[in-house]
Amino acid sequence: MVYDWFYDYTVILTYISFASAVSGIFCASTGHVRWAIFFLAFSGLCDMFDGKIARTKKERTEDEKNFGIQIDSLCDVVCFGVFPIVLCYQLGMRYIGSMILLVFYGLAGVIRLGYFNVMEAKRQNETDEARKYYQGLPITSMAIALPLLFVVSPLLHSPLAFKVLLHLLVAVVGMLFVTNFKLRKPSVRELILLVAVIAAAVLVILFAWQSWWRLIHCV
């Protein structure tokens, strides 16, 4: 069938990432912030490997390649654009200035993805090799930055300090989305290390948060 590639294995991880993000939005909206952080990190994990899986299928048609680019970016808008905005709002970014900053973050993410779509389609028409560099900070970065900020928050000793850092994080990450610089893609070894760090952070958040908090504040 002409629509078989809609359900091809090359895009399954992208669909799982989207489902994870929507689940996380439900969690954030109902105050289950720890699980929301888990779903954000899990969406990021799926996004790290979806491209590698897609490239395992040789001789993809132009329609399959273009569909992969478009569906990946559309899901990324939800996973790493809308979802972090909802989560940050729940974490305290509820003032007028905060919401303007969140709007900027979302707009910067959309612009970054639109630019990526154009350039990636052009690149894939020229070569089948994997991309070696990111142009600007990838939107997936928030799936790393936000869980790490949440884990180190007990070190801050003040909810106000956490909110200040949260605002700075959103502003800096959003700005880097639309800044023109090259960022080398991580190697497989670096990717595994990154996954291990994020997994450890998420496990602390989910299962050892109270112990971690007490440990920090007893030092």
DSSP-derived secondary structure for 172-202 = HHHHHHTS--EEEPPPHHHHHHHHHHHHHHH
Domain membership of residue 9 as a residue range: 4-218
> Which residue pairs, CB below 8 angstroms and at least 24 apart, start in 20-23?
20/46, 20/79, 21/75, 21/78, 21/79, 21/80, 21/82, 21/83, 22/78
pLDDT for 215: 53
pLDDT for 219: 44
Per-residue pLDDT tens digits of the chain, which is 219 residues long: 445 556 666 688 889 999 999 999 999 999 999 899 999 999 998 888 776 666 666 666 777 777 877 888 899 999 999 999 999 999 989 999 999 999 999 999 999 988 887 776 676 665 666 667 788 899 999 999 998 888 888 887 788 888 999 999 999 999 999 998 888 887 778 877 888 888 888 887 777 766 555 555 554
Whole-structure pTM value = 0.86
> Considering its fold, how many domains does the chain have in total?
1
CATH code (residue 182):
1.20.120
